[in-house]
């Protein structure tokens, strides 16, 4: 059994700053860190945390330092991919001591946690909100999966490989690489789930015979309104996390930010 917690889109900024002058993002992550400690009591030891991008909102070194500081009481290993708000060089410098990030080029990596192989891909195009899987990254994925053959895999990258229906988010989705991604995934014979972030909503769909799951954001969400004139902006709504539990198959459980009152006797 292997238990991996996925958090996403923490959008941290420097001390005293707010996202879009109104959203406080450190306190929700602090609360969620305490919730993760409770979850460990409820479900057993967590093997690792994975973070599907936009750790930072402003790309500052201070925001990454805050992230590490907030998570540190958990004493859990974490692995992360960059999102469009992250800055590759500062992200690399902030997390290089963990040893899993390459020293140059795209931040693509492969780690083994318990029975699971986790592959992280870098979809960041610096200066743009949309993302891409470029040929270097797709080559990395293809050669990694070829070596793995038939083991359970969590494949993580920031930009979802599907359209959510929310127009302003779909305009900044994964713009390049989907066709080859589909072919690579189609030829992988083992259990594999694709996990991503970016759209601040938990959506489950399929791609090339594999399950694809977008994680909620720890600090905000987007209204699920599919009309072309839908308001553009974010909701102050903390989305919690996803627990990916491997035991002869994947089970992915959305766990809310708030535990809720109770349980009350029936
Ligand atoms: Fe994003």
pLDDT digits (tens, 9 = 90+) for 53-112: 999 999 999 999 999 999 999 999 999 999 999 999 999 999 999 999 999 999 999 999
Computed over every residue of the chain, the mean pLDDT equals 97
Query: How far is the centre of ligand 1, averaged over its atoms, from the C-alpha of 31 (Å)?
Result: 22
- Is residue 141 over pLDDT 90? yes
Site of tokens 């399929």:
206
Cα(225) to ligand 1 centroid in Å equals 18
Distance 8 CA to ligand 1 centre (A): 9
- Between the CA of 15 and the centroid of ligand 1 the distance, in Å, is 21
* pLDDT above 90: residue 140: yes
**Residue 158 Cα, ligand 1 centroid: separation in angstroms?**
7
- Taking 90 as the threshold, does the pLDDT of residue 149 lie above it? no
Q: What is the pLDDT of residues 16-59, one digit of tens each?
A: 999 999 999 999 999 999 999 999 999 999 999 999 999 999 99
Mean pLDDT of 141-158: 96
Q: How far is the CA of 266 from the centre of ligand 1 (A)?
A: 42
- Give domain 2-255's CATH architecture: 4-Layer Sandwich (3.60)
Asked whether the predicted pLDDT for residue 238 surpasses 90, the reply is: yes
pLDDT greater at residue 203 or residue 248: 203
Q: Report CA(173)–ligand 1 centroid distance (Å).
A: 9
Phi, psi of 41 (to 5 degrees): -70, -30
**155 CA distance to ligand 1 centroid (A)?**
17
User: 224 CA distance to ligand 1 centroid (A)?
Assistant: 16
Q: In the prediction, which pLDDT does 248 show?
A: 87
Q: Report the pLDDT value the prediction gives residue 159, as an integer from 0 to 100.
A: 98
Spatial CA neighbour of 154 closest among 187, 124, 112: 112
**CA distance linking residue 82 with residue 86, whole number of Å:** 6
Percentage helix, strand, coil for the chain under 3-state DSSP, each rounded to 5: 25, 25, 50
Report CA(143)–ligand 1 centroid distance (Å).
27
- Taking the CA atoms of the chain, what radius of gyration do you get in angstroms? 17
Contact criterion met (CB below 8 Å) for 214 and 198:
yes
Question: What is the C-alpha separation between 260 and 177, in angstroms, rounded?
Answer: 41
- Return d(Cα 142, Cα 163) in angstroms, integer: 23
Ligand 1 centre to CA of 154 (Å) is 19
Average pLDDT estimate for 156-168: 97
pLDDT over 90 percentage in the chain = 98
E strand intervals along the chain: 2-7, 48-51, 78-80, 109-113, 116-120, 131-132, 153-156, 174-176, 192-196, 203-207, 210-214, 241-246, 250-255
What distance in angstroms lies between residue 75's CA and the mean position of ligand 1's atoms? 26
Expressed in angstroms and rounded, the spacing between residue 81 Cα and the centre of ligand 1 is 11
- Would you state the pLDDT for residue 52? 98
Mean pLDDT of 155-163: 97
């Amino acid at each position: 059994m292997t238990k991996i917690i996925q958090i996403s889109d923490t959008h941290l900024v420097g001390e005293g700053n707010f996202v879009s002058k109104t959203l406080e993002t450190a306190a929700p992550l602090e609360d969620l860190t305490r919730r993760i400690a409770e979850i460990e009591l409820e479900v057993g030891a967590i093997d690792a945390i994975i973070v599907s991008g936009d750790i930072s909102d402003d790309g500052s070194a201070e925001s990454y330092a805050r992230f590490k500081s907030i998570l540190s009481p958990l004493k859990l290993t974490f692995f992360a991919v960059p999102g469009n708000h992250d800055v590759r060089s500062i992200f690399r410098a902030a997390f290089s001591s963990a040893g899993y990030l390459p020293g140059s080029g795209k931040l693509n990596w492969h780690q083994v946690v318990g029975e699971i192989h986790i592959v992280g891909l870098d979809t960041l195009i610096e200066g743009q909100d949309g993302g891409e899987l470029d040929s270097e990254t797709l080559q990395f994925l293809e050669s990694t999966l070829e070596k793995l053959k038939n083991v359970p895999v969590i494949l993580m990258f920031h930009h979802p490989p599907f359209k959510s229906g929310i127009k302003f988010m779909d305009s900044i989705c994964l713009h390049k690489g989907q066709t080859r991604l589909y072919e690579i995934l189609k030829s992988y014979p083992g259990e594999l789930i694709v996990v991503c972030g970016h759209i601040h909503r938990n959506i489950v769909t399929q791609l090339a015979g594999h399950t694809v799951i977008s994680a909620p954001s720890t600090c905000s969400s987007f209204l699920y309104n599919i009309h072309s004139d839908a308001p553009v902006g974010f909701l102050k709504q903390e989305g919690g996390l996803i627990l990916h539990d491997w035991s002869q198959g994947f089970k992915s459980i959305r766990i809310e930010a708030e535990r809720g009152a109770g349980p009350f006797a029936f």
